[in-house]
Amino acid sequence: MALSAAPAGQAPPLGKQLSYQLAAAVRSINWTYAIFWSMSTGLRSPGVLTWKDGFYNGEVKTRKIISLTTTEVTANDLILQRSEQLRELYESLLSGKADHRGRRPAASLSPEDLGEAEWYYTLSMTYSFRPGQGLPGKSFASNQHVWLYNAQYADTKAFKRALLAKTAPI
């Protein structure tokens, strides 16, 4: 299996390079997900790490396919679409427009479409960390990688998402 999520010989679409890099990394080591946290510069919460991008590679409870009119749907397309669908669901829930199914594409997810690991991934988008706070904040402050194994058993003081992880098979 190639480590790129882009079709062979093609570069990822403009603006999707990070997503494709996360996909390649996660798939190469068979992880359930990857999250890229970034320092926020916005007015809402400057100086904190917030969700920048992610890639979900776990089990899918309900598959809804976005049709691609120009090419056949490949396994790579399906995998990348799921991460995008989870992000779109998060944004619709955040905006309060999740109940307007008539205005959303048929391939849009609703909360009841998600399994436990998908919920964990999606709810992780709501978290933010100050430098030194939580594992992402500690990693940022020390400029070192932080690895966590058996997240479902971690102390909530060290891992803010530990309670959420206990509900998900990650």
Q: Is residue 77 part of a domain?
A: yes
Nearest to 37 by CA among 133, 116, 113: 133
13: which 2 tokens?
A: 């679409």
Whether residue 81 contacts residue 60, with contact meaning beta carbons closer than 8 Å, is answered with no
pLDDT in tens, the chain (170 residues): 344 455 555 676 677 789 889 999 999 988 888 999 999 887 767 789 999 999 999 888 877 765 555 556 666 677 788 888 899 999 988 887 655 455 555 567 888 888 888 998 999 999 999 999 888 999 999 999 888 777 777 877 778 888 788 777 66
Q: Is residue 135 part of a domain?
A: no
137: which 2 tokens?
A: 């904040």
The values of phi and psi at residue 26, to 5°, are -65, -45
Q: Is residue 38 part of a domain?
A: yes
Could you give the CA distance from residue 62 to residue 89 in angstroms, rounded to a whole number? 13
* Domain, as residue range, for 61: 16-129
Q: Is residue 122 part of a domain?
A: yes
Q: Is residue 161 part of a domain?
A: no
Q: Give the three-class secondary structure for 142.
A: helix
Total domains in the chain come to: 1
Q: Is residue 168 part of a domain?
A: no
